[in-house]
Structure 1
Amino acid sequence: MSPPVRFSFDSLPVSRWRNGGGETREIVSWPADELLPAHSGPLPALDDFAWRASIATIDRDGGFSSFPGVDRVITLLEGNGVVLHGANGVAHSLTRTGEPYAFAGEESVTAVLAGGASRDFNIMTRRLDWRASVVRMDHEFILPAVHSGVLYVLAGTWRLGNDDQAKDDKPLAARDGCWWHHLPSPLRLRPLAPESLLLWADISAL
């Protein structure tokens, strides 16, 4: 179990996609090799995670990398977004900020820019062991104990923790966030400004 680890967008390490079609700022890749569930089997080094959160910048048309056995949720953060084209001919417009779209990591998906570069919030979970949901929140809520997850603030400011826990902490502002693995106890999130908005990725073991 761990308390939330804070981050800001500008502090995240940047790397180019392995297929060269964009860049990623990794928030967290959990866990270390020795903590992976024994029944899940080995993975290639680049896929060595149980769950992963990142922010990607897509600046050109191109295909997504393949992640067999992984479920993905992608949510537009900034820009005009992209249109996602699947191998089955189905297209999905990822053009509304804060609305998640889930798909299987092994699917052949090509992204076509809807007008300029876009930035997206990405959650990946190993299908046999984890599940994730991403929701947009604009009101006070409670993070459940034991679950893992990620928060990313889209607008406004948020207080993390109960009043006695958070009184000395700086509020989370736009482009700030935090992640955690198995909260030791429930934790409250409260908006401090009108029109505050964040994304909450709730991640739980199966």
Structure 2
Amino acid sequence: MRILRAAEYRSMPWKNGGGVTTEIAVSPPGAGLDDFDWRVSMALVGGGGPFSGFAGVDRTLALLEGAGMVLDIAGRLPVEITNASAPLAFPADVPTQATLIAGPITDLNVMTHRARATHTVERLLISAPTKIRAGADETLILCVDGELRVAGAAPVELRPLDALSLGPQTPELRLHPVRPAMLFVIRIDLIAGND
């Protein structure tokens, strides 16, 4: 189990230069925007425009803050991303255009190189002790708001935008919200032959 503190995340320009992304975790460690197996990040989006393209990559997007946006993904009908919508999975290598609904937003991006890994993203709102099943090669728990206490021999507290990284040897975790908390559970599995 590894604690990832929001104050220690790495920020860098978007691939298309249109904004700034804050990297929560990446594999392999230190990988850039063109050579990761998987990557979890946040982006502040101040205006509409095209998404960066990532060849051979699958992406899931969810809203962290703001009113939301409408995504126009080539070959699909436009779709709204809001706090009420489920995380949206789509290929990161097709033309995608964003239009903001009402002002700037912050979004969560989870990306896996489709030849090397797969992922799922789940949003949870918890107000009572909750067991979280890890059961993946890598599981990240991102506390969006509220505070969480992680049970264990040495209890750990997660504050807003802190994350917890769990390997496959941690099948289950018990979380105790100090106050109601919204979190994302991101599960990443490596494709055989690429681990």
Shift of residue 82 of structure 1? 1.1
Q: 1:110 to 1:146 in 2, by over 3 A?
A: closer
Q: 1:91 corresponds to which letter in structure 2?
A: P
The structure 1 residue matched to 2:50, chosen from 47, 63, 81, is 63
User: Match of 1:196?
Assistant: 181
Shift of residue 13 of structure 1? 2.2
Q: Aligned partners of 2:48 and 2:9: how far apart in 1?
A: 24
User: Match of 1:154?
Assistant: 144
Q: 2:62 corresponds to which letter in structure 1?
A: T
User: Match of 1:116?
Assistant: 103
Q: 1:108 to 1:192 in 2, by over 3 A?
A: same
Asked whether the 8 Å contact 2:142–2:162 carries over to 1, the reply is: yes
Shift of residue 104 of structure 1? 0.4
Shift of residue 204 of structure 1? 1.1
Shift of residue 79 of structure 1? 0.7
User: Match of 1:42?
Assistant: none
Higher strand share: 2
Between 13-22 and 143-152, report the one with greater CA deviation: 143-152
Q: 2:27 corresponds to which letter in structure 1?
A: W
Higher helix share: 1
Identity of aligned residues (%): 29
1:178 counterpart = 2:164: yes
Shift of residue 151 of structure 1? 1.6
Shift of residue 161 of structure 1? 4.1
Structure 2: tracts of 5 or more residues without a match: none
Q: 2:173 corresponds to which letter in structure 1?
A: R
Q: Aligned partners of 1:156 and 1:46: how far apart in 2?
A: 30
Taking the TM superposition and a 5 Å limit, the aligned residue runs for 1:15-164 are 15-31=12-28, 46-88=33-75, 90-96=77-83, 99-139=86-126, 140-145=130-135, 147-162=137-152, 164=153
User: Match of 1:5?
Assistant: 3
For 1:184, what is the secondary structure of its paired residue? coil
Asked whether the 8 Å contact 2:149–2:178 carries over to 1, the reply is: no
Query: What is the RMSD computed on CA atoms of the aligned residues?
Result: 2.3
Instruction: List structure 1 runs of 4+ shifted beyond 6 angstroms.
Output: none
Instruction: Map Cα deviations across residues 127-150 of structure 1 (whole Å, 9 max, x no partner).
Output: 122111111123412343552022
Structure 1: tracts of 5 or more residues without a match: 37-44
Q: Aligned partners of 2:176 and 2:161: how far apart in 1?
A: 15
Shift of residue 172 of structure 1? 0.6
